[in-house]
Structure 1
């Protein structure tokens, strides 16, 4: 019988996320091990290298996003508000200038690596694909009669969210979450029959 793992991958990946937020792309496996309270060899044995750790983090994030989007779609409620909550929630952990800057610096490193860039593409696809059924329902229920096709709308909203997070990280003022709700609300208001106030009332 295999021995149970004393330290789960989830614990190590959570530690890696905390370290990246604090140190940026210059972090080491030793930093992750220290954060998790384990030996460096434990992290190296699980993931092989820093690159392997980063790949595992993104693969785990893809699975989490897919599960979260399925749950959001099945939960019911106003689909427009659910879309906003999902997108804002995805970036809520970055609502701190230093944390946001360090994560964006790591993102730049990931984009320069072919494998990690492909995994980031999977992550974006998982988010956009999860938004589609919510946006489709919003159109069918008459909430967003002027919206483009759901797949296009999902891509636009994801791009607005990414762009707002990047802009806020360079010029942080107020809360990132508040900025995201304002910017997403402005776009959604243009797709809504009613005024912008109709969308913002439920936020």
Structure 2
């Protein structure tokens, strides 16, 4: 005997989680809020994920495992590896359009840093992101786009600037986050071109 087919995919649910976090922060991240946004009921989410914590662990697992997909999508649109690097990083912040949205995501990061299981996934996501940066920098060097002695060191610097630029935008930046990040990422890469 098989159950009813799911009418709402896990990807839709996870997008609802991300959107709820950005809009309402951890305090507003309830099963009811996610269910409403995803077009489900809270009991349906509970049946699928077991609990709010189960949903958060599944979301964190998916986020950590989807880093390569984000950069692969950027590669298909980009003229070269450095553009894919920049565009991939910007894609991670695309849903954030306000300082409040960034603040809500930073508040959610506190859960990732204080909960051991969530932190495991957050750290995996961070390592996967830096690995993608190393690969793209190596590809750019092989193509003659940049000269760099230590791709991993440059990747670490780009990652630090990416993270820091989000904070500086929230504190005293102007315009949209994407262009703010692009300018700073390009600035870090310019001396290597």
Instruction: Give me the TM-score of the superposition, normalised by structure 1.
Output: 0.84
Q: For residues 6-45 of structure 1, what are the structure 2 equivalents within 5 Å?
A: 6-26=7-27, 27-45=29-47
Contact 1:70 1:130 in 2 (8 A): no
Q: Is 2:107 the counterpart of 1:102?
A: no
Among 90, 93, 96, the residue aligned to 2:95: 93
The Cα offsets for residues 51-75 of structure 1, whole Å up to 9 and x where unpaired, read as 2212211211222212233454577
1:114 deviation in Å?
Answer: 0.9
- What residue is the counterpart of 1:120 in the other structure? 122
Distance 1:56 1:164 in 2: 28
1:115, distance to aligned residue in structure 2 (A)? 1.0
Structure 2: which 5+ runs fail to align? none
Aligned residues: 191
4+ long deviations beyond 6 Å:
none
Aligned to 1:151: 152
Q: Which moved more, 1:39-48 or 1:71-80?
A: 71-80
Q: Do the aligned partners of 2:133 and 2:155 also contact (CA within 8 Å) in 1?
A: yes
- Note the C-alpha offset of 1:24: 0.2
Residues 139 and 59 (structure 1), Cα distance of their counterparts in 2 relative to 1, 3 Å cut: same
Flag structure 1 segments of 5+ consecutive residues without an equivalent: 193-203
For 1:121-142, what per-residue CA distance to the aligned partner results, in whole angstroms no more than 9, with x for missing partners?
A: 1111111112222211211222
Q: Secondary structure at the match of 2:110?
A: helix
How far apart are the structure 1 equivalents of 2:24 and 2:73?
Answer: 33
Q: CA deviation at 1:76?
A: 7.0
8 Å CA contact retained: 1:69, 1:131: no
Q: CA RMSD in A?
A: 2.0
Verify the 8 A CA contact 1:73 1:133 in the aligned structure 2. no
Whole-Å separation in 1 of the counterparts to 2:84 and 2:130 = 14
Tell me how far 1:77 sits from its aligned partner: 3.1
